[in-house]
């Protein structure tokens, strides 16, 4: 930042600190970045003014953020969890990935996804937990016209029989209760896992088991009615077809994908309507994101 372009920052007060902070952070040529910083600073300062934020509260918040950073690792992302419990993750996902009513609804990624899950073939057992009740999961991936979609990469993870994800165990050395699968030519993927333990908030891909005590109180706001599923039992025919034990738990789910073009069109439509409701008529969409209209 050139010194000659730097605004003078003298005698700053409660009344003039915000516009001056916006000016000092508006030296970038990136219109979107400038807009983000302007709105971030404005809302952050308004929060402090509205709540009359105390020094102790401010320091407690900073120390909390430091703690989040210190406990995070390459497989444990506490800032994602913070975003989740503040409702920001679901809000951002809803804005960026809107879904038509005839497609599968999305949910939050959550803090427990990792990039070290093994790729398994259809029918494989993704769980090494001997204490869990066996569960067969049969799914399909289709487009909105009902056509199977082959070659889709699916990341899958669930809790163990104690109700914990593998990254919550300090002795974790490798991925467990998680895998990557690829849908076959018929859009199918199926695998063996374990039935989630009752009394724990759980996630199988983005599906929630009906009747769980935490079904309606998910800490990260990820539960939607269309993602709540019922478990059945494997009958004799299914057991023979998928080579599993008769009487095991069974979960069947069809996933409906939306094309990128359909998502982008719906996203832009929602953005225009939302900006109008907020009275922000001086903005235009560039790459689906609002920036100030300067013309």
CB-CB contact of 126 with 136 (8 Å): no
In this prediction, residue 5 carries a pLDDT of: 62
pLDDT for position 236:
93
Domain ranges of the chain: 1-53, 72-258, 268-295
3-state secondary structure at position 71: helix
pLDDT at 202: 25
Q: How far is it, in rounded angstroms, from Cα 175 to Cα 126?
A: 10
pLDDT of residue 198: 52
Task: Determine phi and psi for 97, rounding to 5 degrees.
Answer: -130, 60
C-alpha closest to that of 215 among 203, 226, 201, 205: 201
As a whole number, mean pLDDT of residues 159-187 equals 83
Q: How far is CA 251 from CA 134, 254, 294, in A?
A: 11, 10, 53
Three-state SS for 37-62 is HHHHHHHHHHHHHHHCCCHHHHHHHH
Band of residue 68 on the pLDDT scale cut at 50, 70, 90: very high
Q: What is the pLDDT of residue 188?
A: 94
Phi, psi torsion values for 96, nearest 5 degrees: -90, -25
Q: Which CATH number applies to 72-258: 1.10.600.10, 2.60.130.10, 1.10.3720.10, 3.40.50.1470?
A: 2.60.130.10
User: Would you call 85 helix, strand, or coil by DSSP?
Assistant: helix
User: Per residue in 239-260, pLDDT tens?
Assistant: 999 988 899 989 988 888 887 7
């Amino acid at each position: 930042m050139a010194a000659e372009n730097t605004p003078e920052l003298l005698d700053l007060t409660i009344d003039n600190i915000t516009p001056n902070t916006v000016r000092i952070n508006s030296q970038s040529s990136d219109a979107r970045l400038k807009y983000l910083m302007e709105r971030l600073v404005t809302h952050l300062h308004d929060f402090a003014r509205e709540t009359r934020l105390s020094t102790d509260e401010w320091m407690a918040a900073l120390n909390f953020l430091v703690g989040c950073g210190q406990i995070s690792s390459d497989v444990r992302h506490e800032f994602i969890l913070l975003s989740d419990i503040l409702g920001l993750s679901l809000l951002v996902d809803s804005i960026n990935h809107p879904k038509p009513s005839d497609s599968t609804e999305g949910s939050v990624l959550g803090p427990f996804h990792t990039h070290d899950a093994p790729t398994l073939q259809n029918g494989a057992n993704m769980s090494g937990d001997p204490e869990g009740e066996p569960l067969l999961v049969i799914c399909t991936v289709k487009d909105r016209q009902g056509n199977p979609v082959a070659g889709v990469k699916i990341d899958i993870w669930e809790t163990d029989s104690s109700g914990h994800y593998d990254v919550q165990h300090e002795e974790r050395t490798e991925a467990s209760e998680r895998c990557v699968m690829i849908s076959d030519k018929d859009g199918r993927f199926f695998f063996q896992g374990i039935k989630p333990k009752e009394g724990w908030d759980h996630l199988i891909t983005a599906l929630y088991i009906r009747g769980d005590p935490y079904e309606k109180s998910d800490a990260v706001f990820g539960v939607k009615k269309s993602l709540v599923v019922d478990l059945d039992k494997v009958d004799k025919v299914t057991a023979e077809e998928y080579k599993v034990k008769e009487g095991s738990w069974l979960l069947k789910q069809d996933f409906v994908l939306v094309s990128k073009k359909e998502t982008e069109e719906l996203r832009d439509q929602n953005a225009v309507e939302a900006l109008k409701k907020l009275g922000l008529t001086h903005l235009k969409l560039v790459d689906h994101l609002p920036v100030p209209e300067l013309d």
